[in-house]
């Protein structure tokens, strides 16, 4: 809506008829960051008893074995100290469960990985891209949609990597010269001057920056080129020992501001998710920056809320994880429609995050695909040779995850891509797809799918996971 407000204001200046109308609902959690806007953004406000209705709560879906396995594989690709984006639904819940297990029950987590032979099959990829240890540095969230899975990860102590919406400060954080929320000491002024974040003789812009991020106390004022403290005004020259002593004595704050553990465009989920947001303290909610979708979904181009340089600094080791309907052997993905032109879903931010994963040097993008679908007793494969509709084209292929494993497609040719995808296909459909690939000469005639990938059956997954369900792991509603 922030982006829409701005466009409507532009339309009004062009003489077009358009209005920004706000509605007050006391059930809505009050969110902070860029969502806090000036009242004159609105041309009218709707307010009255009839508008305080209950919020729409997205139904919580049960998480089955297929979803849990996909979430388990995805959880191994997340690097400690990195950036996370996940979506709504049972697959998002499964990823959150896998990440919580990795952090809170690490021994059991690695035992599950061993039981399913995940480390033996994908250990090289996991060590290169993700990990299986606890989250010591934590994760930062950059997501179009803030879902309840993020709150569960926050409460588990995983979403604890904080960022600053300031290039200079975030650069120093990335260089580990300062940490978010650290105690303010006089040495920080030298560091900021040395790295050209502020001038040695402070100007108004420097003063406002220092106050905004907690380096200066909130009660100070700037008047006619001077800082005004409890003893009056003075010229803030850090090269002057007397002035510097005065600044250290009367101006320095206690700690840097807490920063943000997430940037998000909007929030949606079940009603207990809204209740949880409402029950958070203002200080906690202020650590979530509800912002422009153009901010979260795009890397290139500077918007009013963040520069391209800042996004690059914040979104290190990003893992953007989304869901699709089908995957072709070429690596192309179908997510939003069918080949008869029926529209099943919206593309949403999926393309944006796939594109970002390719643009960011240390990022990866993964698409989760349930390997099969059933209609009555008829089971069909969601891994297909080719299909008449595409959401994510083959040239943007990256990582595909099914309940049977991970296909790392980055930088591989068609022959390698097809073999990787066949390895994570339901075994009932591997033979037919392999024959089609051989008929088109993409696969050599004598090739056989390795034995360790030819037992991809739902029965095997159910049997293995059931042993952990007896110990109260992998519940229907995590």
What's the mean pLDDT when you consider all of the chain? 96
Q: What is the mean pLDDT of each run of 10 residues along the chain (478 residues)?
A: 92 96 95 94 96 93 97 98 95 97 98 96 97 98 96 97 98 97 96 96 97 96 94 94 94 97 96 95 96 92 86 97 97 97 91 95 97 95 98 97 98 97 98 97 96 96 96 94
143: tokens are 């997501």
pLDDT value at residue 346: 87
E-assigned strand segments in 297-455: 318-323, 326-328, 333-334, 364-368, 372-375, 378-381, 383-384, 399-402, 405-408
- E strand or H helix that includes residue 223: strand 221-223
Residue pLDDT, tens place only, 274-328: 999 999 999 999 999 999 999 999 998 877 888 999 999 999 999 999 999 999 9
One-letter-per-residue 3-state SS of 177-199? CCCCCCECCCHHHHHHHHCCCCC
pLDDT at res. 123: 96
Task: State which H helix or E strand residue 353 sits in.
Answer: helix 350-359
Q: How high is the pLDDT of residue 401?
A: 98
d(CA 435, CA 302): 49
pLDDT number for residue 305: 84
Task: Reduce the DSSP state of residue 211 to 3 states and report it.
Answer: helix
Under 8 Å between Cβ of 79 and 319: yes
Cβ(129)–Cβ(79) below 8 Å: yes
- What pLDDT is attached to residue 112? 97
3-state secondary structure 70-89: HHHHHHCCCCCCCEEECCCC
Strands 83-85 and 140-146: parallel
**CA-closest candidate to residue 167, choices 305, 289, 309, 264:** 309
DSSP SS3 for 266: strand
Whole-number pLDDT of residue 168: 97
Whether the CA torsion 399, 72, 353, 323 is positive or negative: it is positive
The pLDDT, as a whole number, for residue 279 is 96
- 67: tokens are 């979803």
Helices (H), 156-307: 167-174, 187-194, 204-212, 241-250, 271-279, 282-285, 293-297
């Amino acid at each position: 809506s922030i982006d829409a407000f701005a466009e409507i204001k532009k339309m009004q200046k062009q003489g077009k008829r358009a209005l920004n109308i706000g509605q007050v609902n006391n059930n809505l959690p009050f969110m902070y960051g860029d969502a806090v806007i000036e009242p004159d953004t609105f041309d009218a406000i709707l307010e009255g008893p009839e508008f305080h209705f209950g919020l729409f709560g997205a139904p919580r879906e049960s998480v089955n074995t297929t979803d849990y396995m996909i979430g388990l594989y995805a959880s191994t690709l997340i690097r400690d100290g990195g950036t996370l984006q996940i979506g709504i639904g049972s697959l998002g819940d499964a990823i959150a469960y896998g990440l919580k297990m990795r952090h809170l029950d690490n021994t059991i987590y690695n035992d599950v990985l061993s039981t399913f032979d995940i480390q033996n099959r994908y250990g090289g990829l996991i060590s290169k891209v993700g990990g299986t240890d606890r989250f010591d540095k934590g994760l930062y969230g950059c997501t179009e949609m803030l879902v309840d899975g993020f709150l569960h990860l926050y409460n588990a102590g995983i979403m604890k990597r904080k960022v600053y919406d300031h290039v200079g400060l975030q650069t120093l954080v990335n260089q580990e010269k300062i940490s978010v929320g650290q105690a303010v000491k006089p040495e920080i002024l030298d560091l900021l001057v040395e790295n050209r974040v502020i001038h040695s003789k402070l100007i108004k812009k420097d003063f406002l920056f220092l106050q905004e991020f907690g380096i200066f106390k909130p009660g100070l004022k700037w008047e006619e080129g001077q800082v005004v403290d409890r003893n009056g005004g003075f010229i803030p020259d850090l090269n002057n020992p007397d002035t510097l002593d005065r600044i250290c004595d009367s101006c320095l704050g206690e700690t840097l501001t807490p920063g943000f553990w997430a940037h998000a465009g909007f929030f949606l989920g079940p009603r207990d998710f809204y209740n949880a947001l409402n029950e958070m303290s203002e200080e906690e909610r202020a650590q979530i920056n509800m912002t422009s979708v153009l901010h979260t979904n795009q890397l290139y181009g500077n918007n009013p809320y963040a520069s391209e340089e800042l996004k690059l600094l914040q979104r290190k080791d990003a893992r953007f994880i989304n869901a699709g309907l089908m995957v072709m052997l070429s690596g192309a993905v179908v997510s939003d429609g069918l080949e008869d032109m029926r529209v099943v879903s919206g593309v949403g931010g999926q393309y944006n995050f796939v594109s970002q994963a390719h643009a960011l040097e240390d990022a990866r993008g993964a698409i989760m695909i349930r390997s099969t679908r059933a209609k009555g007793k008829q089971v069909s494969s969601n891994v297909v040779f080719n299909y008449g509709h595409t959401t994510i084209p083959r040239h943007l292929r990256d990582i595909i995850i099914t309940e049977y494993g991970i296909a790392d497609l980055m930088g591989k040719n068609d022959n390698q891509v097809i073999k990787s995808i066949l390895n994570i296909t339901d075994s009932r459909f591997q033979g037919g797809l392999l024959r089609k690939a051989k008929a088109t000469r993409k696969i050599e005639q004598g090739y056989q799918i390795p034995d360790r990938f030819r037992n991809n059956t739902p029965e095997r997954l159910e049997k293995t996971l059931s042993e952990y369900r007896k110990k109260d792991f992998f519940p229907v509603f995590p």
